[in-house]
Chain A
Amino acid sequence: MIEIKNLTYIYDTQQSPALENINLSIQPGEYVAIIGPNGGGKTTLIRQLNALLTPTQGEVWIDGLSTGNVKNHKEIRRLVGMIFQNPDNQIVGMTVEEDVAFGPGNLGLSPAEIQRRVDSALAAVGLSELGKRAPHALSGGQKQRLALAGLLAMDPKIIVLDEPTAALDTSGQTEVFRQIEKLHQQGLTIIFITQDMEEAARADRVLVLHQGRLVADDHPAQVLTRVEWLLSLGLAPPRLVQLMCRLRESGFDIGTDVFDVERACQQISTLVTGQRQMLTDRKPREV
Protein backbone atom coordinates (compact mmCIF):
# COMPACT_ATOMS: atom_id res chain seq x y z
CA MET A 1 0.00 0.00 0.00
CA ILE A 2 1.43 3.33 -1.10
CA GLU A 3 0.11 6.58 0.34
CA ILE A 4 1.35 9.92 -0.99
CA LYS A 5 0.13 13.07 0.74
CA ASN A 6 0.70 16.62 -0.53
CA LEU A 7 4.05 15.62 -1.98
CA THR A 8 6.17 18.47 -3.31
CA TYR A 9 9.75 17.98 -4.42
CA ILE A 10 12.20 20.71 -5.35
CA TYR A 11 15.64 19.90 -6.83
CA ASP A 12 16.74 23.46 -7.10
CA THR A 13 15.08 26.51 -5.58
CA GLN A 14 15.82 28.51 -8.76
CA GLN A 15 13.58 26.16 -10.76
CA SER A 16 9.91 25.35 -10.44
CA PRO A 17 9.20 22.23 -8.34
CA ALA A 18 9.77 18.88 -10.06
CA LEU A 19 6.68 17.60 -8.23
CA GLU A 20 3.90 19.80 -6.90
CA ASN A 21 1.30 18.76 -4.35
CA ILE A 22 0.79 15.16 -5.44
CA ASN A 23 -1.89 13.13 -3.66
CA LEU A 24 -2.16 9.49 -4.55
CA SER A 25 -2.76 6.11 -3.10
CA ILE A 26 -1.99 2.76 -4.70
CA GLN A 27 -3.49 -0.46 -3.35
CA PRO A 28 -1.67 -3.80 -3.18
CA GLY A 29 -1.77 -5.71 -6.46
CA GLU A 30 -2.47 -2.70 -8.69
CA TYR A 31 -0.94 -2.42 -12.17
CA VAL A 32 -0.16 1.22 -12.82
CA ALA A 33 1.40 3.03 -15.77
CA ILE A 34 2.88 6.51 -15.48
CA ILE A 35 3.08 8.63 -18.61
CA GLY A 36 3.91 12.24 -19.31
CA PRO A 37 6.10 14.45 -21.46
CA ASN A 38 9.87 14.69 -20.87
CA GLY A 39 10.62 16.52 -17.66
CA GLY A 40 7.08 15.86 -16.39
CA GLY A 41 8.40 14.46 -13.14
CA LYS A 42 7.87 10.72 -13.68
CA THR A 43 11.34 9.63 -12.62
CA THR A 44 11.29 12.03 -9.69
CA LEU A 45 7.98 10.55 -8.52
CA ILE A 46 9.03 6.92 -8.58
CA ARG A 47 12.34 7.70 -6.91
CA GLN A 48 10.24 8.85 -3.97
CA LEU A 49 8.76 5.38 -3.69
CA ASN A 50 11.97 3.65 -2.61
CA ALA A 51 13.42 6.65 -0.79
CA LEU A 52 16.16 7.39 -3.32
CA LEU A 53 14.59 10.84 -3.00
CA THR A 54 12.61 12.08 0.00
CA PRO A 55 9.89 14.76 -0.03
CA THR A 56 10.71 18.45 0.26
CA GLN A 57 7.18 18.83 1.60
CA GLY A 58 4.47 16.27 2.30
CA GLU A 59 4.79 12.57 3.00
CA VAL A 60 5.26 9.24 1.26
CA TRP A 61 4.16 6.15 3.16
CA ILE A 62 5.02 2.61 2.10
CA ASP A 63 3.14 -0.04 4.07
CA GLY A 64 2.92 2.31 7.02
CA LEU A 65 6.59 3.39 6.83
CA SER A 66 7.39 7.01 6.07
CA THR A 67 10.26 7.63 3.63
CA GLY A 68 11.09 10.77 5.61
CA ASN A 69 12.58 8.62 8.36
CA VAL A 70 16.06 7.33 7.42
CA LYS A 71 15.62 4.35 9.76
CA ASN A 72 12.87 3.03 7.50
CA HIS A 73 14.96 3.11 4.31
CA LYS A 74 16.37 -0.40 4.61
CA GLU A 75 12.94 -1.99 4.94
CA ILE A 76 11.41 0.30 2.30
CA ARG A 77 14.08 -0.70 -0.21
CA ARG A 78 13.36 -4.34 0.50
CA LEU A 79 9.63 -3.77 -0.01
CA VAL A 80 9.99 -1.65 -3.13
CA GLY A 81 12.24 -3.04 -5.86
CA MET A 82 13.33 -0.73 -8.67
CA ILE A 83 14.35 -1.37 -12.26
CA PHE A 84 16.14 1.30 -14.27
CA GLN A 85 16.10 2.11 -17.95
CA ASN A 86 19.64 1.08 -18.83
CA PRO A 87 20.10 -2.64 -18.25
CA ASP A 88 23.90 -2.38 -18.09
CA ASN A 89 24.22 0.13 -15.31
CA GLN A 90 22.31 -1.82 -12.70
CA ILE A 91 24.39 -4.99 -12.83
CA VAL A 92 26.67 -5.37 -9.84
CA GLY A 93 27.78 -8.99 -9.98
CA MET A 94 30.41 -10.70 -12.08
CA THR A 95 28.09 -13.62 -12.80
CA VAL A 96 24.32 -13.85 -13.10
CA GLU A 97 24.06 -15.75 -9.79
CA GLU A 98 26.35 -13.34 -8.02
CA ASP A 99 24.31 -10.39 -9.23
CA VAL A 100 21.06 -11.85 -7.92
CA ALA A 101 22.82 -12.57 -4.60
CA PHE A 102 23.69 -8.89 -4.11
CA GLY A 103 20.35 -7.83 -2.59
CA PRO A 104 20.01 -10.81 -0.22
CA GLY A 105 23.66 -10.28 0.76
CA ASN A 106 22.80 -6.70 1.75
CA LEU A 107 20.01 -8.12 3.91
CA GLY A 108 22.64 -10.23 5.67
CA LEU A 109 21.07 -13.61 4.91
CA SER A 110 23.01 -16.86 5.30
CA PRO A 111 24.76 -18.36 2.24
CA ALA A 112 22.30 -21.28 2.21
CA GLU A 113 19.29 -18.96 2.24
CA ILE A 114 20.91 -16.73 -0.42
CA GLN A 115 21.45 -19.79 -2.63
CA ARG A 116 17.81 -20.84 -2.20
CA ARG A 117 16.56 -17.36 -3.11
CA VAL A 118 18.92 -17.04 -6.07
CA ASP A 119 17.73 -20.36 -7.47
CA SER A 120 14.05 -19.57 -7.10
CA ALA A 121 14.40 -16.00 -8.43
CA LEU A 122 16.31 -17.19 -11.51
CA ALA A 123 13.72 -19.91 -12.08
CA ALA A 124 10.93 -17.32 -11.81
CA VAL A 125 12.37 -15.26 -14.67
CA GLY A 126 13.52 -18.26 -16.68
CA LEU A 127 17.26 -17.71 -16.40
CA SER A 128 18.20 -20.81 -14.37
CA GLU A 129 20.39 -22.14 -17.16
CA LEU A 130 22.52 -18.99 -17.28
CA GLY A 131 23.52 -18.74 -13.60
CA LYS A 132 27.25 -18.96 -14.24
CA ARG A 133 27.31 -16.60 -17.23
CA ALA A 134 28.83 -13.16 -17.16
CA PRO A 135 25.94 -10.63 -17.18
CA HIS A 136 27.45 -8.50 -19.94
CA ALA A 137 27.12 -11.49 -22.28
CA LEU A 138 23.30 -11.49 -21.97
CA SER A 139 20.82 -9.86 -24.37
CA GLY A 140 19.07 -6.65 -23.32
CA GLY A 141 15.84 -8.48 -22.51
CA GLN A 142 17.71 -11.08 -20.50
CA LYS A 143 19.54 -8.33 -18.60
CA GLN A 144 16.26 -6.75 -17.57
CA ARG A 145 14.94 -10.15 -16.49
CA LEU A 146 18.15 -10.58 -14.50
CA ALA A 147 17.48 -7.22 -12.84
CA LEU A 148 13.96 -8.44 -11.99
CA ALA A 149 15.41 -11.63 -10.50
CA GLY A 150 17.72 -9.47 -8.38
CA LEU A 151 14.64 -7.78 -6.93
CA LEU A 152 12.61 -10.97 -6.50
CA ALA A 153 15.41 -12.44 -4.39
CA MET A 154 14.65 -9.69 -1.86
CA ASP A 155 11.00 -10.72 -1.72
CA PRO A 156 9.51 -7.28 -2.52
CA LYS A 157 5.82 -6.36 -2.56
CA ILE A 158 6.07 -3.52 -5.02
CA ILE A 159 8.11 -3.26 -8.20
CA VAL A 160 8.68 0.10 -9.86
CA LEU A 161 10.22 0.32 -13.30
CA ASP A 162 11.60 3.44 -14.99
CA GLU A 163 11.12 2.93 -18.74
CA PRO A 164 12.26 -0.70 -18.52
CA THR A 165 11.93 -1.36 -22.24
CA ALA A 166 13.18 1.93 -23.68
CA ALA A 167 16.61 0.49 -24.47
CA LEU A 168 15.30 -2.81 -25.88
CA ASP A 169 14.25 -4.10 -29.29
CA THR A 170 10.72 -5.38 -29.93
CA SER A 171 11.39 -8.94 -28.86
CA GLY A 172 13.12 -7.71 -25.70
CA GLN A 173 10.11 -5.51 -24.98
CA THR A 174 7.63 -8.38 -25.24
CA GLU A 175 9.94 -10.60 -23.20
CA VAL A 176 10.11 -8.07 -20.36
CA PHE A 177 6.38 -7.30 -20.38
CA ARG A 178 5.46 -10.97 -20.33
CA GLN A 179 7.60 -11.26 -17.20
CA ILE A 180 6.13 -8.15 -15.58
CA GLU A 181 2.60 -9.37 -16.20
CA LYS A 182 3.40 -12.74 -14.70
CA LEU A 183 4.59 -11.01 -11.53
CA HIS A 184 1.46 -8.89 -11.47
CA GLN A 185 -0.66 -12.03 -11.67
CA GLN A 186 1.25 -13.39 -8.69
CA GLY A 187 -0.04 -10.44 -6.69
CA LEU A 188 2.85 -7.96 -6.82
CA THR A 189 2.08 -4.28 -7.19
CA ILE A 190 3.57 -3.03 -10.46
CA ILE A 191 4.22 0.61 -11.30
CA PHE A 192 5.99 1.46 -14.53
CA ILE A 193 6.94 4.55 -16.48
CA THR A 194 6.65 4.39 -20.23
CA GLN A 195 6.78 6.59 -23.31
CA ASP A 196 4.90 3.94 -25.24
CA MET A 197 1.13 4.40 -25.15
CA GLU A 198 0.49 0.82 -26.23
CA GLU A 199 2.40 -0.33 -23.16
CA ALA A 200 0.47 2.11 -20.96
CA ALA A 201 -2.78 0.66 -22.28
CA ARG A 202 -1.90 -2.72 -20.76
CA ALA A 203 -2.12 -1.31 -17.22
CA ASP A 204 -5.25 -1.12 -15.08
CA ARG A 205 -4.60 2.49 -14.17
CA VAL A 206 -2.78 5.35 -15.88
CA LEU A 207 -1.26 8.36 -14.16
CA VAL A 208 -0.34 11.40 -16.23
CA LEU A 209 2.30 13.80 -14.93
CA HIS A 210 2.70 17.18 -16.56
CA GLN A 211 4.98 19.92 -15.22
CA GLY A 212 5.20 18.16 -11.88
CA ARG A 213 1.46 17.87 -11.43
CA LEU A 214 -0.74 14.80 -11.51
CA VAL A 215 -3.18 15.80 -14.27
CA ALA A 216 -4.99 12.49 -14.77
CA ASP A 217 -5.48 9.29 -12.81
CA ASP A 218 -7.90 6.84 -14.34
CA HIS A 219 -8.48 3.68 -16.33
CA PRO A 220 -6.56 3.58 -19.67
CA ALA A 221 -9.86 3.56 -21.58
CA GLN A 222 -10.66 6.95 -20.01
CA VAL A 223 -7.23 8.55 -20.28
CA LEU A 224 -5.77 7.28 -23.55
CA THR A 225 -8.88 8.06 -25.60
CA ARG A 226 -8.67 11.82 -24.96
CA VAL A 227 -6.80 12.41 -28.19
CA GLU A 228 -6.88 16.24 -28.33
CA TRP A 229 -5.94 16.56 -24.68
CA LEU A 230 -3.02 14.14 -24.94
CA LEU A 231 -1.74 15.98 -28.01
CA SER A 232 -1.97 19.28 -26.14
CA LEU A 233 0.30 17.81 -23.43
CA GLY A 234 2.77 16.80 -26.10
CA LEU A 235 1.93 13.09 -25.91
CA ALA A 236 1.09 10.93 -28.89
CA PRO A 237 -2.17 8.98 -28.32
CA PRO A 238 -2.09 5.29 -29.36
CA ARG A 239 -2.33 4.99 -33.15
CA LEU A 240 -5.36 2.69 -33.05
CA VAL A 241 -7.22 5.14 -30.82
CA GLN A 242 -6.41 7.92 -33.31
CA LEU A 243 -7.73 5.74 -36.14
CA MET A 244 -10.92 4.92 -34.28
CA CYS A 245 -11.47 8.58 -33.43
CA ARG A 246 -11.08 9.55 -37.10
CA LEU A 247 -13.62 6.92 -38.11
CA ARG A 248 -15.98 8.12 -35.41
CA GLU A 249 -15.60 11.73 -36.58
CA SER A 250 -16.51 10.57 -40.09
CA GLY A 251 -19.80 9.37 -38.69
CA PHE A 252 -19.18 5.70 -38.03
CA ASP A 253 -20.63 4.26 -34.86
CA ILE A 254 -17.50 2.85 -33.30
CA GLY A 255 -15.87 2.63 -29.84
CA THR A 256 -12.57 4.51 -29.38
CA ASP A 257 -11.09 2.60 -26.44
CA VAL A 258 -9.35 0.14 -28.72
CA PHE A 259 -5.72 -0.68 -27.91
CA ASP A 260 -4.96 -3.89 -29.75
CA VAL A 261 -5.17 -4.87 -33.40
CA GLU A 262 -7.43 -7.80 -32.55
CA ARG A 263 -10.19 -5.57 -31.15
CA ALA A 264 -9.75 -2.99 -33.88
CA CYS A 265 -10.16 -5.68 -36.49
CA GLN A 266 -13.28 -6.97 -34.82
CA GLN A 267 -14.88 -3.51 -34.56
CA ILE A 268 -14.05 -2.56 -38.13
CA SER A 269 -15.22 -5.85 -39.58
CA THR A 270 -18.57 -5.69 -37.77
CA LEU A 271 -18.87 -2.15 -39.08
CA VAL A 272 -18.09 -3.26 -42.64
CA THR A 273 -20.36 -6.31 -42.60
CA GLY A 274 -23.11 -4.10 -41.13
CA GLN A 275 -22.75 -1.64 -44.03
CA ARG A 276 -22.69 -4.44 -46.56
CA GLN A 277 -25.81 -5.94 -44.95
CA MET A 278 -27.56 -2.58 -45.25
CA LEU A 279 -26.66 -2.39 -48.95
CA THR A 280 -27.84 -5.94 -49.75
CA ASP A 281 -30.99 -5.40 -47.65
CA ARG A 282 -31.75 -2.25 -49.55
CA LYS A 283 -31.28 -3.55 -53.10
CA PRO A 284 -34.31 -5.90 -53.49
CA ARG A 285 -36.71 -3.18 -52.30
CA GLU A 286 -35.39 -0.75 -54.92
CA VAL A 287 -36.03 -3.24 -57.68
Chain B
Amino acid sequence: MIGGRRDMPLNRDSTGRFLPWLIAVMVYLASLATMGALTMTKIANEWQSSLTGQLTVQVPVSMPAVESRDAAEDEQVQILLALLKGTPGVESAILMPLDEINQLLEPWLGVVDASASLPLPRLISVTVSPDAPFDMAGLREELQSAVPGTTVDDHQQWLNGLLDLAGLIKLVALLVVVLVGLSAVIMVVFVTRMGLAVHRQIIELLHLIGAHDAYVARQFQWHALKLGLRGGLIGLLCAGATLFLADHFVSRLQASLLPDLALTPLDWLLLVAVPLIAALITLITARITVLQSLARLL
Protein backbone atom coordinates (compact mmCIF):
# COMPACT_ATOMS: atom_id res chain seq x y z
CA MET B 1 0.00 0.00 0.00
CA ILE B 2 1.25 3.50 -0.76
CA GLY B 3 2.15 5.62 2.23
CA GLY B 4 2.78 2.82 4.71
CA ARG B 5 0.79 3.49 7.89
CA ARG B 6 -2.95 3.62 7.89
CA ASP B 7 -3.64 4.92 11.36
CA MET B 8 -7.02 6.16 10.22
CA PRO B 9 -9.21 3.55 8.50
CA LEU B 10 -9.75 5.90 5.58
CA ASN B 11 -10.55 3.19 3.09
CA ARG B 12 -13.59 2.25 5.14
CA ASP B 13 -15.03 5.76 4.84
CA SER B 14 -18.22 5.90 2.87
CA THR B 15 -17.38 9.47 1.92
CA GLY B 16 -14.34 8.34 0.01
CA ARG B 17 -16.16 5.63 -1.86
CA PHE B 18 -17.88 7.86 -4.40
CA LEU B 19 -14.85 10.06 -4.97
CA PRO B 20 -13.23 7.81 -7.62
CA TRP B 21 -16.43 7.87 -9.66
CA LEU B 22 -16.64 11.63 -9.57
CA ILE B 23 -12.98 11.87 -10.51
CA ALA B 24 -13.65 9.42 -13.33
CA VAL B 25 -16.41 11.63 -14.74
CA MET B 26 -14.22 14.70 -14.41
CA VAL B 27 -11.23 13.08 -16.06
CA TYR B 28 -13.50 11.89 -18.85
CA LEU B 29 -14.87 15.38 -19.48
CA ALA B 30 -11.47 17.02 -19.22
CA SER B 31 -9.92 14.49 -21.60
CA LEU B 32 -12.57 14.98 -24.23
CA ALA B 33 -12.41 18.75 -23.90
CA THR B 34 -8.63 18.66 -24.24
CA MET B 35 -8.83 16.44 -27.28
CA GLY B 36 -11.53 18.66 -28.76
CA ALA B 37 -9.34 21.70 -28.38
CA LEU B 38 -6.37 19.87 -29.89
CA THR B 39 -8.41 18.75 -32.89
CA MET B 40 -9.74 22.22 -33.41
CA THR B 41 -6.19 23.60 -33.35
CA LYS B 42 -5.17 21.03 -35.93
CA ILE B 43 -8.06 21.88 -38.25
CA ALA B 44 -7.45 25.60 -37.93
CA ASN B 45 -3.74 25.21 -38.62
CA GLU B 46 -4.45 23.04 -41.61
CA TRP B 47 -6.85 25.56 -43.11
CA GLN B 48 -4.54 28.43 -42.42
CA SER B 49 -1.49 26.83 -43.97
CA SER B 50 -3.37 25.64 -47.04
CA LEU B 51 -5.01 28.99 -47.66
CA THR B 52 -2.33 31.55 -46.93
CA GLY B 53 -0.56 32.60 -50.09
CA GLN B 54 -3.58 31.63 -52.14
CA LEU B 55 -5.57 34.27 -53.97
CA THR B 56 -8.48 33.88 -56.29
CA VAL B 57 -9.00 36.56 -58.91
CA GLN B 58 -12.46 36.65 -60.31
CA VAL B 59 -12.95 38.00 -63.82
CA PRO B 60 -16.21 39.91 -64.11
CA VAL B 61 -18.99 38.34 -66.09
CA SER B 62 -20.08 40.35 -69.04
CA MET B 63 -23.69 39.86 -69.88
CA PRO B 64 -24.04 40.31 -73.65
CA ALA B 65 -24.63 37.47 -76.11
CA VAL B 66 -22.86 34.25 -75.37
CA GLU B 67 -20.77 34.15 -78.51
CA SER B 68 -19.10 37.51 -78.02
CA ARG B 69 -18.70 36.84 -74.37
CA ASP B 70 -15.87 34.38 -74.62
CA ALA B 71 -13.80 36.58 -76.82
CA ALA B 72 -14.16 39.59 -74.57
CA GLU B 73 -13.43 37.59 -71.51
CA ASP B 74 -10.43 35.89 -72.99
CA GLU B 75 -8.96 39.25 -73.63
CA GLN B 76 -9.60 40.41 -70.11
CA VAL B 77 -8.12 37.23 -68.73
CA GLN B 78 -4.98 37.72 -70.80
CA ILE B 79 -4.63 41.29 -69.49
CA LEU B 80 -5.02 40.16 -65.91
CA LEU B 81 -2.68 37.20 -66.27
CA ALA B 82 0.00 39.41 -67.75
CA LEU B 83 -0.44 41.93 -65.01
CA LEU B 84 -0.30 39.28 -62.29
CA LYS B 85 2.78 37.61 -63.66
CA GLY B 86 4.52 40.97 -63.71
CA THR B 87 3.73 41.61 -60.06
CA PRO B 88 6.65 40.97 -57.69
CA GLY B 89 5.87 38.24 -55.15
CA VAL B 90 3.50 36.33 -57.37
CA GLU B 91 4.77 32.81 -57.91
CA SER B 92 2.14 31.62 -60.31
CA ALA B 93 -1.13 32.71 -61.85
CA ILE B 94 -3.18 30.06 -63.56
CA LEU B 95 -6.56 30.32 -65.18
CA MET B 96 -8.76 27.71 -63.62
CA PRO B 97 -9.96 25.38 -66.42
CA LEU B 98 -13.70 25.24 -66.94
CA ASP B 99 -13.65 21.53 -66.15
CA GLU B 100 -12.42 22.30 -62.70
CA ILE B 101 -15.10 24.90 -62.11
CA ASN B 102 -17.68 22.43 -63.29
CA GLN B 103 -16.26 19.89 -60.87
CA LEU B 104 -16.54 22.34 -58.00
CA LEU B 105 -20.16 22.91 -58.86
CA GLU B 106 -21.01 19.29 -59.37
CA PRO B 107 -22.22 18.60 -55.86
CA TRP B 108 -24.74 21.39 -56.22
CA LEU B 109 -25.77 21.22 -59.84
CA GLY B 110 -25.15 17.66 -60.90
CA VAL B 111 -23.18 16.62 -63.96
CA VAL B 112 -23.97 19.32 -66.46
CA ASP B 113 -21.86 21.62 -68.55
CA ALA B 114 -22.60 24.50 -66.28
CA SER B 115 -20.29 26.89 -67.98
CA ALA B 116 -22.18 26.49 -71.20
CA SER B 117 -25.58 27.31 -69.78
CA LEU B 118 -24.66 29.66 -66.93
CA PRO B 119 -22.77 32.92 -66.92
CA LEU B 120 -19.99 31.69 -64.67
CA PRO B 121 -17.10 33.95 -63.78
CA ARG B 122 -13.64 32.92 -64.83
CA LEU B 123 -11.30 32.32 -61.94
CA ILE B 124 -7.55 32.82 -61.80
CA SER B 125 -5.77 30.96 -59.07
CA VAL B 126 -2.76 32.90 -57.77
CA THR B 127 0.00 31.67 -55.53
CA VAL B 128 1.94 34.28 -53.65
CA SER B 129 5.43 33.69 -52.29
CA PRO B 130 5.15 33.38 -48.50
CA ASP B 131 8.46 35.20 -47.93
CA ALA B 132 8.16 38.29 -50.09
CA PRO B 133 6.27 41.26 -48.69
CA PHE B 134 3.14 41.58 -50.69
CA ASP B 135 0.98 44.64 -51.32
CA MET B 136 -2.52 43.21 -51.39
CA ALA B 137 -4.36 46.52 -51.61
CA GLY B 138 -2.06 47.77 -54.38
CA LEU B 139 -2.62 44.67 -56.47
CA ARG B 140 -6.36 44.90 -56.03
CA GLU B 141 -6.39 48.50 -57.26
CA GLU B 142 -4.15 47.72 -60.18
CA LEU B 143 -6.29 44.80 -61.34
CA GLN B 144 -9.47 46.77 -61.01
CA SER B 145 -8.19 49.70 -63.04
CA ALA B 146 -7.06 47.28 -65.75
CA VAL B 147 -10.33 45.39 -65.84
CA PRO B 148 -13.11 47.11 -63.92
CA GLY B 149 -15.22 44.76 -61.84
CA THR B 150 -12.39 42.36 -61.07
CA THR B 151 -12.45 41.06 -57.53
CA VAL B 152 -9.60 39.57 -55.55
CA ASP B 153 -10.39 37.15 -52.76
CA ASP B 154 -7.55 36.27 -50.41
CA HIS B 155 -9.88 34.02 -48.35
CA GLN B 156 -8.97 36.02 -45.25
CA GLN B 157 -12.52 36.85 -44.35
CA TRP B 158 -13.63 33.28 -44.56
CA LEU B 159 -10.51 32.07 -42.79
CA ASN B 160 -10.85 34.66 -40.04
CA GLY B 161 -14.37 33.53 -39.37
CA LEU B 162 -13.23 29.97 -39.09
CA LEU B 163 -10.28 30.85 -36.91
CA ASP B 164 -12.55 32.82 -34.60
CA LEU B 165 -14.82 29.83 -34.31
CA ALA B 166 -11.89 27.55 -33.65
CA GLY B 167 -10.63 29.98 -31.02
CA LEU B 168 -14.01 30.03 -29.35
CA ILE B 169 -14.21 26.27 -29.27
CA LYS B 170 -10.75 26.09 -27.74
CA LEU B 171 -11.73 28.67 -25.15
CA VAL B 172 -14.83 26.72 -24.21
CA ALA B 173 -12.76 23.55 -23.95
CA LEU B 174 -10.30 25.32 -21.68
CA LEU B 175 -13.17 26.60 -19.57
CA VAL B 176 -14.53 23.07 -19.27
CA VAL B 177 -11.13 21.81 -18.12
CA VAL B 178 -10.78 24.61 -15.58
CA LEU B 179 -14.30 24.13 -14.23
CA VAL B 180 -13.86 20.40 -14.03
CA GLY B 181 -10.57 20.87 -12.18
CA LEU B 182 -12.20 23.32 -9.82
CA SER B 183 -15.04 20.94 -9.04
CA ALA B 184 -12.52 18.19 -8.42
CA VAL B 185 -10.73 20.41 -5.92
CA ILE B 186 -13.99 21.26 -4.16
CA MET B 187 -14.95 17.59 -4.01
CA VAL B 188 -11.63 16.58 -2.54
CA VAL B 189 -11.75 19.38 0.02
CA PHE B 190 -15.22 18.22 1.05
CA VAL B 191 -14.29 14.55 1.28
CA THR B 192 -11.09 15.35 3.18
CA ARG B 193 -12.94 17.54 5.69
CA MET B 194 -15.44 14.76 6.22
CA GLY B 195 -12.56 12.38 6.81
CA LEU B 196 -11.02 14.74 9.33
CA ALA B 197 -14.32 15.00 11.18
CA VAL B 198 -14.94 11.25 11.16
CA HIS B 199 -11.45 10.46 12.44
CA ARG B 200 -11.17 13.39 14.78
CA GLN B 201 -10.55 11.23 17.84
CA ILE B 202 -7.78 9.29 16.18
CA ILE B 203 -6.19 12.50 14.99
CA GLU B 204 -6.34 13.91 18.51
CA LEU B 205 -4.62 10.80 19.80
CA LEU B 206 -1.95 11.02 17.11
CA HIS B 207 -1.35 14.60 18.16
CA LEU B 208 -1.08 13.59 21.81
CA ILE B 209 1.54 11.03 20.90
CA GLY B 210 3.49 13.75 19.15
CA ALA B 211 2.46 13.56 15.52
CA HIS B 212 3.02 16.65 13.44
CA ASP B 213 0.20 17.77 11.18
CA ALA B 214 2.29 16.60 8.26
CA TYR B 215 2.17 13.03 9.61
CA VAL B 216 -1.62 13.12 9.54
CA ALA B 217 -1.66 14.92 6.20
CA ARG B 218 0.57 12.28 4.64
CA GLN B 219 -1.93 9.52 5.30
CA PHE B 220 -4.78 11.57 3.89
CA GLN B 221 -2.84 12.60 0.82
CA TRP B 222 -1.72 9.07 -0.11
CA HIS B 223 -5.24 7.86 0.34
CA ALA B 224 -6.54 10.68 -1.87
CA LEU B 225 -3.89 9.89 -4.47
CA LYS B 226 -5.05 6.30 -4.53
CA LEU B 227 -8.67 7.32 -5.02
CA GLY B 228 -7.65 9.87 -7.64
CA LEU B 229 -5.62 7.35 -9.59
CA ARG B 230 -8.40 4.81 -9.46
CA GLY B 231 -10.95 7.31 -10.72
CA GLY B 232 -8.53 8.73 -13.25
CA LEU B 233 -7.93 5.30 -14.71
CA ILE B 234 -11.64 4.68 -15.16
CA GLY B 235 -12.09 8.10 -16.76
CA LEU B 236 -9.10 7.54 -19.01
CA LEU B 237 -10.40 4.19 -20.25
CA CYS B 238 -13.79 5.71 -21.05
CA ALA B 239 -12.24 8.70 -22.80
CA GLY B 240 -9.90 6.42 -24.74
CA ALA B 241 -12.81 4.29 -25.90
CA THR B 242 -14.80 7.36 -26.93
CA LEU B 243 -11.90 8.82 -28.90
CA PHE B 244 -11.23 5.50 -30.56
CA LEU B 245 -14.83 5.39 -31.74
CA ALA B 246 -14.72 9.00 -32.89
CA ASP B 247 -11.49 8.34 -34.74
CA HIS B 248 -13.10 5.38 -36.44
CA PHE B 249 -16.07 7.42 -37.67
CA VAL B 250 -13.96 10.34 -38.83
CA SER B 251 -11.70 8.08 -40.87
CA ARG B 252 -14.77 6.51 -42.50
CA LEU B 253 -16.03 9.96 -43.46
CA GLN B 254 -12.94 10.66 -45.54
CA ALA B 255 -14.05 14.21 -45.64
CA SER B 256 -11.66 16.24 -47.73
CA LEU B 257 -12.44 19.33 -45.69
CA LEU B 258 -11.06 17.70 -42.57
CA PRO B 259 -7.34 17.32 -42.14
CA ASP B 260 -5.88 14.13 -40.77
CA LEU B 261 -7.39 13.91 -37.30
CA ALA B 262 -5.75 10.70 -36.17
CA LEU B 263 -4.34 11.03 -32.66
CA THR B 264 -0.58 11.34 -32.60
CA PRO B 265 1.53 9.65 -29.92
CA LEU B 266 1.86 13.08 -28.32
CA ASP B 267 -1.91 13.34 -28.13
CA TRP B 268 -2.14 9.97 -26.43
CA LEU B 269 0.57 11.06 -24.01
CA LEU B 270 -1.43 14.15 -23.18
CA LEU B 271 -4.49 11.99 -22.71
CA VAL B 272 -2.65 9.81 -20.22
CA ALA B 273 -1.37 12.91 -18.46
CA VAL B 274 -4.91 14.10 -17.68
CA PRO B 275 -5.68 11.44 -15.02
CA LEU B 276 -2.17 11.76 -13.62
CA ILE B 277 -2.63 15.48 -13.23
CA ALA B 278 -6.04 14.85 -11.69
CA ALA B 279 -4.52 12.44 -9.17
CA LEU B 280 -1.81 14.96 -8.38
CA ILE B 281 -4.43 17.66 -7.81
CA THR B 282 -6.25 15.25 -5.49
CA LEU B 283 -3.08 14.61 -3.50
CA ILE B 284 -2.11 18.26 -3.16
CA THR B 285 -5.65 19.36 -2.33
CA ALA B 286 -5.98 16.72 0.38
CA ARG B 287 -2.66 17.70 1.90
CA ILE B 288 -3.39 21.41 1.94
CA THR B 289 -6.88 20.81 3.32
CA VAL B 290 -5.55 18.71 6.20
CA LEU B 291 -2.75 21.12 7.06
CA GLN B 292 -5.07 24.12 7.02
CA SER B 293 -7.86 22.44 8.95
CA LEU B 294 -5.51 21.11 11.62
CA ALA B 295 -3.74 24.43 12.03
CA ARG B 296 -7.11 25.96 12.83
CA LEU B 297 -7.69 23.39 15.60
CA LEU B 298 -4.95 24.97 17.82
A, B from the same assembly: no
- Which chain A residues have a beta carbon within 8 Å of chain B's beta carbons? none
- Which chain B residues have a beta carbon within 8 Å of chain A's beta carbons? none
